[in-house]
Structure formats: structure tokens, C-alpha cells
Amino acid sequence: MSITVQLAHFSDCHSHFDGAPMRFSPVGESEWRTQCGGYARILSRLTALRQQADAAGQTCLLLHGGDTFQGSLYFNRFKGRANADLLSLLQPDAMVIGNHEFDLGNGPLVEFLRQLDFPVLAANLDSSQEPADTPLRLRGLHMLHDARRPWHKRIIDGVPFALLGITLPQMAAIANPDAYTHFHGIEETLVAAISDIKAEGIHHIILLSHLGLEQDKRLAARFPEFSLIIGGHTHSQLGDLAPLGLESDGSYPLMVNDVAILHAAHSALCLGVCELEFDARGRVRRSQGQLEWLPWQPWPFDSAPPAGLHFCEPAPELEAHLAKRYRPELETMTQRIVTRLAGPLHHQRLPDANLPAGSQVAPLVAHAMLTGAREQVGQVDFALHNAGGVRCALEPGPLSEADIAGRLLPFAIPLTLYRVHGHELAEALEGAIDNATNNGVTGNGSGSFPYTAGVRFSYQADKPKGARITRLEWEASPGQWQPIEADAIYRGVSSAYTASGKEGYTALARTLTQHNQELGITLADAFIRWARYLPELSVMPPLLVYQGPGAMS
């Protein structure tokens, strides 16, 4: 017997409850810029889809591919509380845990999960070693389907479906789960879960995956038992998007080994909408749908709008909820001007010929971190920050609290004070640059490139590993630079993410970690406090000399 299901899906919203700016280049028309998406319009579209499904005697599922945390001023101010509140108004049927849900450790994730009334999936998450006296416990949460009970059974029109979730196993390397939270391998987890599901006679298996599109393709090829994979993590967008002037990562749905794969971009810009017909064996035999972008403005051209644009009014109940509970504080922050810029300050992760010292913004962030740490605890020798933690360049004009906390430094990660030996600092700088530039290692991306305050250094890519930091000095007093001594101990401040040794900064977490101290302020807090006393932001003197591959010594 076949069954038809109406499906809506999204992922990687990163607390963009108001959506985000979007740029379309429709065929035959000029570029069109508009605000797009947001939870109020998503709810409006969902309400219509649910009514249509109900009228047809069908079920409408809403599935979330993970990463609801981080990324906007809403999260910076309200953390997971706003996410739980607003996501619950959309009434998802299930969600998989993404890596950013662990950015602030287990505690904020637990508080978020406690407020939800729908299944949250992560079959490879193992919290069995969690101490019994942990104040905020992951283990045993009612709606969490982890290694203890890996999947959720859902009956749809008399047919049993299994909803199964899988998240990134390298979570400890890219986020901040507590030390007793472990993540099992993907294949071993899925083999065991599928065996359990099949033993119950269930043939319709939906995998919610926060692994990225390429990994989803591999899973579809490896596990033909899956009916459908709802993905996230790589912000991939599928379908015929050429009429909108957008790039596509494949067809919608993307069929691999008879398994349907669906992704829906990011930032709540759009909703994936698909009607799927499953046969008795759980195979998708017919599908019809697309990504639906939700513009705020009407179509501005005389031509008919292309497929893929859905124009609707925001759901008034969710719009009113945002306006009453959350936006007033954000609007106040928009009105509070911190400082100004006479000219642009550029941000790029890696140095190049045009900007040989790299980002002009990241060193300012490091300086603000150092100032904020010194205000709290006195003597701090240096600040070290990764380029990926800075999210935009700065344009001339006023800079508000909202600009800083919502765009420049939206990741609400606390600052951490730590102690390292001089040789470990050198090793961390080298490891971070090697990681960012794939110099002898396969890195995690250019975001690990380091920027500093209170420390200056030179890096030469062609030197042997372990000898690429050719100069390393610290500012013992204003304007007085001294060589870093290999066995001396120095006090540094970084984001908790960097201080825990992620993405090449391994040496920071190697020794003396018992002295780490969380300062209770975020990057945005430190920058706002520091910049408020500056009449104008300007470029600081460079503190690094970078010589890439082939440079002469």
C-alpha cells in the first residue's frame, strides 16, 4: 500500500527569526534585493500547507535539520530561550541536534531541550557517563532520542515510520560538549539502529542528518534502507534555481541509490516543500516540490515571478510575539551607538598581497578582549582570537550595539583566561596557521587563522614543522617588546572555543588547563565596552608577518 505525505523542512536557521537579506538575479531582470524568510512567514506557509494536507486527508510533517543556535542578535541576547519559544510555535515533528547547539556546552542545550515538546534526535550522542550530580543533565531528557533510545516511532495514516537522527561525531573538535558527552561513529550507529528498526517490521525510515550534503550522499549509497534523508550543516540548496539566479547543489529531491535527499539552505530564508509518495517498502516513488523562498517585498517587475518564490503575509500571532517579547530590547540596542568609523575596515581571514597583515577588524577584537580581561583580573599578557569568530567587515558611519552583537560578533561564546608556556603559545600559533592554510595538514578551514593583541609574531610557511614561528614577542609594557621565553608561563585570553584547543590550537589545551577561568563576558560584550570609549575606530599597527609558501627567508 502506498502512502502520500506532505513534507516541509528547514535547517541551519541560526536564530534568524526575521530571516535575512537575499539577493536574487532573475533571468531577464535586474538584481533584486529583499529581506526574505523568517519564522512568521514560515508559520504562515506552514499553516496553509497543513490545512491543504488536512483537506486531502494527508499528514503534513515539519522536520528540522539542526543548528538553531547562534548567529543573530536574538541568540546573543536571549540564548536558547527564544529558540525554544519560537520554534515551538512552528510545531516541528522532529529535529536533529546540530554542532552549534553545543557551542556553549551542555547546560544551555539542556535548558533549551527541557522547553520542547517534540522529539529531538541524535542517535550517536552518548551521555551515559554523565555524573549523577550534574546540575543540568542531558541523560534521561524526555524528548531526547540519543544512544539510549536512538529513534522515534511515528504512525502516519496507519503506517509506522521511524525518525532517526545523526549528528557530527567530531563534535568535541568543533564545538564544546562537556567532557563526559561522547559521540559514536556514524556507520556503527546507523547499522545498529537500522537493524533495530527493521526488527520491528518498519520499512519507512527517515534520517535527519546534520552531517552535510556530501556525507548524506555517501549514507544514501551505503544504506538503501533509508526512505528519505533530511539534511543540514552545509547550507546546501537544491532544485532548479537558475530562474532566480541562484546556484544549486543538485536536483530537488536529490536521488541517490533510490534514497531521496532534501536540503533547504539556511537562515530561515526558505522552506523546503515536497509531496512524497512512498510504496509499501518505504521507497519514494513520486515526489513533487521545491524550495520556496519567502520574500518580504512584492515582485518588483512586470514579468511573472519565477517558480520558487512564495509571497505571503507573516503570521500575525508569531509577529506579535516577536514584537512584544523580543524586539524591544533589540531595537534599543540598534539605537545605542557605540562608536563610529571614518572609513571602511576590511575583514578577510588570511593575509594576501592587498592586505599582507590580513584582517583589519580581527586585531581590534583581540585588543578589546585583552582590555576587557585586564579590567576584570588585572595582569593578562595577550589575547588570541581566530579569524572565523569575526563575521563581517565594517563600513563607514555609526556602529551600534546591535551591529556588534548581531553582525560582527554574533557567536555568544564567553571569554576564557588561561596560562600557557611560551613554547605552547608558539605551537598554537603555528598549528592554527597550518590548519587555516592546509600547510602539511588537512585543516578545518581558514577560520582558524590567529590574530593577537599583546603578542606579535612572524610565520614562514616553508620552514620545517615546529620552526615556522620565526619571531614571537610580547609587550611587557606599552611599546616595549620582549622575546617570549619557551619555558616561561604567560597569561592569555581567548574565546572558550579557541582556548579549548579547537582547529589547530591544540597546544592551548595541553597543560595548565586547571587554571582556566571563564570571565562571564562574551566577545560582543568586551568589544562594546572597549569601543564605547573610542571616538573612532581605525586600523591598528600590524602584529604579524606572514610569509606563505615560496616566500624568501
Residue 277 confidence (pLDDT) above 80: yes
Instruction: Express each pLDDT in 408-465 by its tens digit.
Output: 999 888 899 999 999 999 999 999 999 999 999 988 789 999 999 999 999 999 999 9
Start-end of CATH 3.90.780.10 domains in the chain: 337-547
**CA-closest candidate to residue 286, choices 255, 257, 265, 309:** 255
Residue 73 confidence (pLDDT) above 70: yes
User: What share of the chain in percent tops pLDDT 90?
Assistant: 90
Going by the DSSP 8-state scheme, the letter that residue 174 receives in this structure is H
**CA-closest candidate to residue 181, choices 168, 197, 196, 194:** 168
User: Residue 173's pLDDT is what?
Assistant: 80
Instruction: Express each pLDDT in 456-509 by its tens digit.
Output: 999 999 999 999 999 999 999 999 999 999 999 999 999 988 998 888 999 998
Mean predicted confidence (pLDDT) in 335-350: 96
360-393 in b/e form (b: 16+ CB < 10 A) is bbbbbbbbbbbbbbbeeeeebbbbbbbbbbbeee
User: Residue 413's pLDDT is what?
Assistant: 86
Instruction: Express each pLDDT in 3-13 by its tens digit.
Output: 999 999 999 99
Q: How far apart are CA 121 and CA 65, in angstroms?
A: 10
Instruction: Express each pLDDT in 153-164 by its tens digit.
Output: 999 999 999 999
Taken in order 393, 395, 398, 403, the sign of the CA dihedral is negative
User: Residue 510's pLDDT is what?
Assistant: 78
User: Residue 513's pLDDT is what?
Assistant: 58
Q: Which CATH superfamily is domain 337-547 in?
A: 5'-Nucleotidase, C-terminal domain (3.90.780.10)
Start-end of CATH 3.60.21.10 domains in the chain: 3-327
Instruction: Express each pLDDT in 103-124 by its tens digit.
Output: 988 999 999 999 999 999 999 9
Residue 552 confidence (pLDDT) above 60: no
Mean predicted confidence (pLDDT) in 340-348: 96
Q: How far apart are CA 334 and CA 46, in angstroms?
A: 31
User: Residue 553's pLDDT is what?
Assistant: 38
User: What share of the chain in percent tops pLDDT 70?
Assistant: 98
Residue 443 to residues 350, 438, 446: CA-CA distances in angstroms? Answer: 14, 5, 8
Residue 550 confidence (pLDDT) above 50: yes
Question: Residue 22 pairs with which residues in a beta bridge?
Answer: 34
In CATH terms, is domain 3-327 a member of 3.60.21.10? yes
